[in-house]
């Protein structure tokens, strides 16, 4: 299962950018609001809400933000209802994109996404024409914590033991380089893997569900720069929460 994903760095970079821009608080607030509206505000019966709250707290989202989002979802506080929307698109050199958004105005969001894609030579795709290229999986990316990653990476026996342990917790794929460990699970196991890696004094840099390409699309360096510029432009939109692509440097 060990290896190195050429496109995993895009996900790591994206997470860092989201945190710097403060979008992470907004994303969790919107997701929590939607979960509370759909399943109620009781975390004992609403598993999705409980998981989102746990993940939000691990990303240092203030309790006041979480409570406010729950109240908006249950109707205790007024506000336009948030919705989850997913767009399929093609970008530079025919690369495939899945764009997730959290919005209270779908007309505004789709207009903005179309404009951003158009500036990069991309366009929205028909429903189902891109989605089949991806699969939904849990992904956990961890970096050096208090102990640091070097002691694990530099010890082949320790790394092999860690891999075997995360397999027991539900890992389907395990990758490691000098800076990060990346674990892929089915959609139900990522929280267990995340919590286990925390016990190893590692820092969780990102954790949650992602669309992973079943097969990547190799592109040259110049095209990848265009792909990354498009990702950055999409992420700048306040409604866009996640961007996934099958592009990979050849």
CATH of the domain spanning 134-212: 3.30.70.980
* pLDDT of the residue at 152: 73
Q: Has this prediction a pTM greater than 0.85?
A: no
Instruction: Give span(s): CATH 3.30.70.980, the chain.
Output: 83-133+215-249, 134-212
What fold is seen in the domain 83-133+215-249?
Answer: Alpha-Beta Plaits (3.30.70)
Please give the share of the chain, as a percent, with pLDDT higher than 90: 68
* pLDDT of the residue at 81: 86
Answer whether 191's CB lies under 8 Å from 168's CB.
no
Helix axes 221-236, 106-119, angle to 10 degrees: 160
* pLDDT of the residue at 202: 86
Q: pLDDT averaged over the chain?
A: 87
* pLDDT of the residue at 139: 94
pLDDT of residue 21 exceeding 60, the answer is no
Number of Cβ within a 10 Å radius of residue 170: 18
* pLDDT of the residue at 150: 66
Task: Indicate the range of 6-15, 39-48, 172-181, 217-226 predicted with least confidence.
Answer: 6-15
* pLDDT of the residue at 12: 45
Pick the CATH number of 22-74 from 3.40.50.2300, 1.10.10.200, 3.40.50.12780, 1.10.3720.10: 1.10.10.200
pLDDT of residue 187 exceeding 50, the answer is yes
How confident is the model over 138-162, as pLDDT tens digits?
Answer: 999 988 754 556 667 667 888 889 9
Q: Which of the pair, 210 or 14, is modelled with greater confidence?
A: 210
């Amino acid at each position: 299962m060990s290896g190195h994903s050429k496109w995993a760095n895009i996900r790591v970079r994206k997470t860092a950018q989201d945190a710097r821009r403060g979008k992470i608080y907004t994303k969790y607030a919107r997701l929590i609001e939607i979960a509370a509206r759909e399943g109620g505000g009781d975390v004992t019966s609403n598993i999705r809400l409980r998981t989102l709250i746990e993940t939000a707290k691990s990303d240092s989202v203030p309790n006041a933000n979480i409570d406010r989002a729950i109240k908006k979802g249950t109707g205790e506080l007024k506000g336009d209802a948030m919705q989850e929307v997913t767009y399929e698109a093609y970008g530079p050199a025919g690369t495939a994109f899945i764009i997730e958004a959290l919005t209270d105005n779908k007309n505004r969001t789709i207009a903005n996404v179309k404009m951003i894609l158009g500036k990069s030579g991309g366009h929205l795709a028909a429903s189902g024409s891109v989605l089949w290229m991806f699969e939904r999986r849990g992904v956990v990316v961890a970096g050096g914590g208090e102990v640091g990653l070097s002691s694990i990476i530099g010890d082949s026996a320790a790394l092999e033991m860690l891999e075997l342990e995360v397999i027991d917790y539900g890992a389907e794929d395990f990758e490691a380089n000098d800076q990060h460990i990346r674990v892929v699970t089915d959609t139900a196991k990522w929280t267990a893997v995340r919590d286990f890696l925390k016990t190893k004094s590692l820092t969780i840099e990102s954790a949650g569900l992602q669309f992973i390409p079943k097969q990547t699309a190799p592109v040259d360096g110049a095209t990848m720069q265009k792909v990354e510029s498009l990702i950055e432009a999409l992420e700048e939109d306040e409604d866009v929460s996640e961007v996934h692509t099958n592009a990979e440097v050849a």
